[in-house]
């Protein structure tokens, strides 16, 4: 478990003062996430169900009114980077600074008055682990600027602007899930989100009370969304929607999936993508109703089904993620699946509390036997969304 954001706020503020010569106006935190179910559905206007991790990006920030944006990160070697807010150009920056600078750009592009800032960031969200470290960076900066410039934007609006920063400024074609999770999740709950209109419902998700645990297994295979495979899946889904004459794959009813697949004829790849998205939306709805009826253990097989669909139809898994799922299930887990975009990153495992040591050991041994890097395993309990901590 990482140190709480409230506990690190003091040292982040001190470092800010060393760097910039005065105490920050405030300190904010925004979490990473795991997604319980609903993968690659968000850019198809579908359903997702993430929850926030205790790991956060923490930002000490002061407002400036001279058009200068100064950025520093505790997690990246290098000096303070200084930029002019009116000279920010999409896709001109390939460094980490593109995430916070992209948020400033997106706010200004949307007509909000943001006249500069000094920012020092420190994050405990593992980077490249499929746990939304980038979204946490974006959302924490968006929230700080929202407060400091009195913009009055709601969580979902900050999520939309952060997504725009990532899509246009950074150049990664991601959906809206990660930013909304970071901005809107709540302690002890998973967020059932309709990505079409961002309507949401907080679903109580307290596994400990029922004698269960949710493990995150970071395979330590790094992934990145600006690389081509994510974008190819997204375009394939858009092609499927166009061929079927719908706005988004969300509009293909589950009951009409077979007929839709037939209409796609010999478009084999598009058929697989469509099948994943339509069945995955149905799985999210099934998980919501199981959780709401108190049948939590029964979500396990749905998670495993979701993994098979991501592996075989959507083809975004990798040998390490498959090995976590196979090994965890073979050693008694209730369910397991990859989480996030895939191509590396993390898997989640739902297990009885008493089975956690056996499952963890089995996964570690299987990784060693396969010659894979030692995975990082930790327990995830739904934590708070973005907030001011100081
Ligand atoms: C990544 C993206 F950022 C999300 O928008 C989502 O598409 C996810 O992959 C897959 O569900 O995390």
C-beta 311 within 6 A of ligand 1? no
Binding residues: 39-42, 73, 128-134, 166, 230
Please say whether the beta carbons of 316 and 341 come within 8 A. yes
Which of 340, 342, 346, 348 most suits a substitution to test ligand 1, by most atoms within 8 Å of the C-beta?
340
Residue 39 has pLDDT above 60, yes or no: yes
Residue 166 alpha carbon, nearest atom of ligand 1: 3
* Each residue's pLDDT tens digit, 61-118: 999 999 999 999 999 999 999 999 999 999 999 999 999 999 999 999 999 999 999 9
Complex ipTM value? 0.99
Query: pTM for the full model?
Result: 0.97
Better-scored residue on pLDDT, 227 or 307: 307
**Cα gap 24→259, rounded to integer Å:** 59
Which of 174, 227, 230, 345 most suits a substitution to test ligand 1, by most atoms within 8 Å of the C-beta?
174
- The percent of residues in the chain predicted with pLDDT above 70, rounded, is 98
In order of 34, 102, 216, 219, 358, the CA distances from 327 in angstroms are 20, 40, 14, 13, 11
- Read off the pLDDT band of 279 (50, 70, 90): very high
* Residue 206 is a catalytic residue: no
User: How many A from CA of 206 to the centre of ligand 1?
Assistant: 24
How high is the mean pLDDT of the chain?
Answer: 97
C-beta 45 within 6 A of ligand 1? no
- Read off the pLDDT band of 2 (50, 70, 90): low
C-beta 178 within 6 A of ligand 1? yes
Q: What is the arithmetic mean of pLDDT over 272-299?
A: 98
- Structure-block tokens of residue 322: 């498959």
Please say whether the beta carbons of 52 and 384 come within 8 A. yes
Residue 303 has pLDDT above 80, yes or no: yes
Catalytic residue, chosen from 178, 218, 281, 313, is 178
Question: How many whole angstroms from its chain centre is CA 287?
Answer: 19
């Amino acid at each position: 478990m990482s140190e709480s954001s409230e506990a690190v706020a003091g040292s982040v503020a001190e470092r800010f003062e060393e760097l910039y010569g005065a105490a920050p106006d405030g300190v904010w935190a925004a979490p990473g996430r795991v997604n319980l179910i609903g993968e690659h559905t968000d850019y198809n206007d579908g359903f997702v169900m993430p929850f926030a991790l205790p790991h956060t990006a923490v930002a000490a920030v002061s407002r400036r009114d001279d058009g200068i944006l100064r950025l520093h990160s505790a997690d990246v070697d290098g000096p303070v980077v200084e930029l002019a807010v009116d000279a920010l150009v999409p896709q001109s920056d390939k460094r980490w600074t593109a995430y916070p600078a992209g948020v400033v750009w997106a706010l200004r592009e949307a007509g909000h008055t943001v006249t500069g800032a000094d920012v020092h960031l420190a994050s405990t969200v593992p980077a490249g682990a499929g746990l939304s470290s980038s979204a946490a960076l974006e959302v924490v900066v968006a929230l700080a600027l929202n407060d400091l410039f009195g913009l009055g934007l709601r969580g979902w609006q900050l999520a939309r602007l952060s997504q725009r920063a990532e899509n246009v400024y950074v150049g990664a074609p991601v959906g809206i899930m990660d930013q909304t999770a970071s901005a809107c999740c709540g302690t002890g709950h998973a967020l059932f989100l309709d990505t079409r209109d961002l309507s949401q419902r907080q679903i109580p998700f307290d596994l400990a009370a029922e004698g269960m645990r949710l493990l995150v297994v970071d395979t330590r295979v790094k992934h990145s969304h600006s690389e081509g495979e994510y974008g190819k899946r997204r375009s394939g889904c858009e092609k499927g929607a166009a061929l079927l004459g719908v706005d988004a794959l969300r509009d293909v009813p589950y009951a009409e999936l077979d007929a839709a697949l037939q209409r796609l004829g010999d478009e084999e790849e598009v058929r697989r993508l469509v099948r994943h998205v339509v069945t995955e939306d149905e799985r999210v709805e099934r998980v919501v109703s199981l959780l709401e009826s108190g049948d939590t253990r029964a979500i396990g097989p749905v998670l495993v089904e979701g993994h098979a669909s991501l592996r075989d139809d959507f083809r975004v898994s990798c040998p390490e993620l498959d090995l976590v799922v196979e090994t965890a299930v073979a050693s008694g887990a209730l369910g397991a699946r990859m989480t996030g975009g895939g191509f590396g990153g993390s898997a989640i495992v739902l297990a009885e509390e008493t089975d956690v040591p056996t499952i963890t050991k089995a996964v570690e041994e299987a990784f060693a036997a396969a010659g894979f890097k030692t995975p990082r395993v930790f327990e995830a309990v739904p934590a708070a969304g973005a907030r001011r901590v100081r």
